Amino acid sequence: MNSSNSSKIITPFISTTKGIGGRIKQTSEDFIVAEIIENHQIIDPRLESFNLPGKSGLFLHFVLIKNNIDTSSALDWISKIWKIPRNNLSIAGTKDKKALTAQRVSLWGAKEKFEQGRLRNLDFPTMKTKAPCLRLNEIRLGNLWGNFFDIIIRNIKSTGEETKKITLSTLDEIESKGGILNGFGLQRFGEQRPITHIVGKKLLEEDVRGAIKIYIGKVFEGESDEVKEARTRFWETENARDTLNLLPSHLRIEKKLLNLLNRRKNDYLQAFNSLPNQFRKLFIHAYQSYLFNNYLRIRIENYSDNLKKPLAGEVIKEGNICVPLVGAKTHLDREVEEIYNEIFEMEKISKEDFLKPFIKKIGGKGALRSISFKPEKLQIIDSGNDELNEKRSKIRLSFEIKKGSYATEFLREIMKL
């Protein structure tokens, strides 16, 4: 079990139905994501107006609606256009890139600009800001109930009626097993370049140079020839200046790291520490997620696929069966310890690695996570002919998922892809 093996990144299916196949995100409007906040208010990107909750204060809150752009890029553009520090923008969580999404954002230090009318709402094809208002509290990571989804799966070979029948059969089996495996989806690791967990393992080994070398230089299939050439140049030479001249402008993080390495004579640790704190934590969190996904895999393959009954050492919390995301504060016991020890041995790490001061600074504390989840308020809105794909069918689903779980894991279970 090597952490660079992509077949071991995501979790196996819990159900045995054949799946409907098909394709998600043929258009960004096929994948609608709306953040659910206090009082179960749904921030739907299709709405024209919003009334954001909270008492008046010093933070500017607004709704970010984006279409076919990643969250980080959208925030970068807001920072640039409004001429405000990027680190002053805070969100509860990132949203899918190829999707139509809406979420709350908070901004510190812009009260005067806002009151003077110097912050205009943005309105571009890929992103809009709406409903700016002054509120008391900052939006922090995790400040949401979850997300509402309205999704169309297209290009399905079976008829609309058969598609609905297979879907209902899968949902029945999911219910009987106690839910879907609450694994981390591929977007946790990078959909185009599933690499963040590999970088995280290098950081766990305190090999910052190796971590940055992999992040910038490791080539993946599907990347353009231009990108492959630039990555290969850095992999072979670690020459930041030469690589900068080859690397396309849209690879912003890589360019930022290369600029830092170029200015600071390849001081890899200083370059890494210059990244935003939230971004630096991403890599260790991704490796913890990778270890957790492998726990789930071994659990259902070698111990039990009954997600309603805990193994020895699993914890019941708020009615959910939970196991640790391994970190500095993790306690492992009985069968849970057996499974994780098997993973540690194959990964050539130990739990004590997370006690290193450097790792504690970049997010290696650990936490409990439920082993399963179920979508709530699930509806099959439509199932029939697909107008975008001749002689194929589609199905439209809406549902809600609590924070921390992935809609794509539910859709993989339905589609078996």
Mean pLDDT for all residues in the chain: 93
pLDDT confidence of residue 196 = 94
Name the least confident of 64-78, 88-102, 184-198, 310-324: 184-198
pLDDT confidence of residue 2 = 40
pLDDT confidence of residue 7 = 56
**335-378 tens-digit pLDDT:** 999 999 999 999 999 999 999 988 988 887 889 999 999 999 99
Q: Look at residues 196, 179, 181, 416 and name the one whose alpha carbon lies nearest to residue 297.
A: 181
Question: pTM for this structure?
Answer: 0.87
pLDDT confidence of residue 199 = 95
60 pLDDT more than 70: yes
194 pLDDT more than 70: yes
> CATH 3.30.70.3160 occupies which residues in the chain?
38-144
DSSP 8-state assignment for residue 83: T
- Share of residues in the chain with pLDDT > 90 (%): 81
Beta bridge partners of 117: none
> CATH 1.10.1510.30 occupies which residues in the chain?
196-273
Compute the average pLDDT of residues 380-398: 97
Q: How far is CA 351 from CA 285, 330, 368, 382, 417, in A?
A: 14, 8, 15, 48, 33
> The domain 6-27+147-182+373-415: what is its CATH number?
3.30.2350.20
φ and ψ at 45, to 5 degrees? Answer: -65, -15
| Alpha-carbon gap, residue 53 to 46, rounded angstroms | 19
Residue identified by tokens 């680190």 is 87
Domain 38-144 has CATH 1.10.760.10: no
Q: Residue 138 in contact with residue 34, Cβ under 8 Å?
A: no
> The domain 196-273: what is its CATH number?
1.10.1510.30
Confidence of residue 4 (pLDDT cuts 50, 70, 90): very low
**6-43 tens-digit pLDDT:** 457 889 999 999 999 999 999 999 999 999 999 999 99
- E strand or H helix that includes residue 254: helix 252-263
More confident: 2 or 130: 130
| Alpha-carbon gap, residue 285 to 107, rounded angstroms | 25
Q: Residue 17 in contact with residue 166, Cβ under 8 Å?
A: yes
